[in-house]
Amino acid sequence: MEMKIVQIILNLQCLAIFLSFFFSIKLYRLNWKNGMKYFSIYHFVAFIMAIPFFLMFNGFSKFSHLHEINNYTLLFGFLFLALFMIFNMPNKKGRQLLITLFIILFSLLIFNIFKNDLDKSVQNSQAFAINCFGLLIFSIIYFLKLFKVIPEKRITTDPTFWVVIGVFSFSIISSPLLIVTGFFYKIDPVNRFLILVGLMPSLGFITLHFFLIKAILCTKKLQ
């Protein structure tokens, strides 16, 4: 029963990624504002990275480099989303703060991935934790700075607002439980509860990509 739930959640994660990619393709010709036109790169890379996992989840194929794919996905995801928030930060001081944090966190992420490269487990829990907490900090700073600025229009019509909401939701859902399961998994790797709780990052990814779809739809309304 647990494995069926795992397969359903993982497939929903891939489906959310595929849907956001197809929405971005459908609207790619629009003159997206606030840097959103470059977000199609994120959707494309996420789509490509999700294909081998989708095939493996459904028993179509086995891949011997999922560990490397997962690491590349972590690096690209943090790099792209962090830079997106830096470039769309509403004030200069906030942007400088994010740049400093980005240099520190991205360096830690690269160091951790190379340090644990001998561990060929598919999920590098430490690197994923750095990724989640880093994006969470970025999101909080972004919102604190955003709400100090009087917007010229409703922020709910701004696509970048929904992107950051998605990143924030993903980080909140994934971060705490990931650390707990990563610690106890070493003690009891077959615990059924931990297996199900370990799916929370997948639910975080699902939430992220549905907010990205919302951002795409907001972009369409701006045209």
- Residues 73-127: pLDDT tens digits? 888 999 999 999 998 887 888 899 999 999 999 999 888 887 766 455 545 677 8
In the chain, the percentage of residues whose pLDDT exceeds 70 is: 72
Which segment, 21-35, 105-119, 203-217, is predicted with the most confidence on average? 203-217
More confident residue, 152 or 37: 37
- Give the pLDDT confidence score for residue 53 in this predicted structure: 76
Helix axes 39-57, 2-26, angle to 10 degrees: 150
Domain holding 171, by residue range, is 2-222
- What integer is the mean pLDDT of 187-194? 55
- Give the pLDDT confidence score for residue 25 in this predicted structure: 80
How far is the CA of 151 from the CAs of 3, 19, 40, 128, 156, in angstroms? 47, 31, 26, 34, 10
Which of 23-32, 44-53, 73-82, 161-170 is the least confident region?
23-32
With a CB cutoff of 8 Å and minimum separation 6, the contacts of 112 are 124, 126, 127, 130
Report H helices in 27-38: none
- Give the pLDDT confidence score for residue 154 in this predicted structure: 72
Determine which helix (DSSP H) or strand (DSSP E) holds 211, and give its type and residue range. helix 200-222
Q: Which amino acid is at 163?
A: V
Q: DSSP states of 90-159 as a string?
A: SSHHHHHHHHHHHHHHHHHHHHHHHHTTT---S--HHHHHHHHHHHHHHHHHHHHHHTTS--SS-GGG-H
- Give the pLDDT confidence score for residue 195 in this predicted structure: 62
Name the one residue in this structure whose structure tokens are 């990205």.
212
Which segment, 144-153, 186-195, 209-218, is predicted with the most confidence on average? 209-218
- Cα pseudo-dihedral 77, 81, 83, 86, rounded to 10: -160
Domain count for the chain:
1
- Give the pLDDT confidence score for residue 122 in this predicted structure: 45
pLDDT tens column, 127-178 = 888 888 899 999 999 988 887 765 655 777 788 889 999 999 999 888 766 6
Which of 52-61, 104-113, 184-193, 202-211 is the least confident region?
184-193
Burial of residue 40 (CB within 10 Å: 0-12, 13-18, 19+) is: middle
Mean pLDDT, all residues of the chain: 78
More confident residue, 115 or 43: 43
Q: How many CB atoms lie within 10 A of CB 39?
A: 24
Read off the DSSP letter of residue 37: G
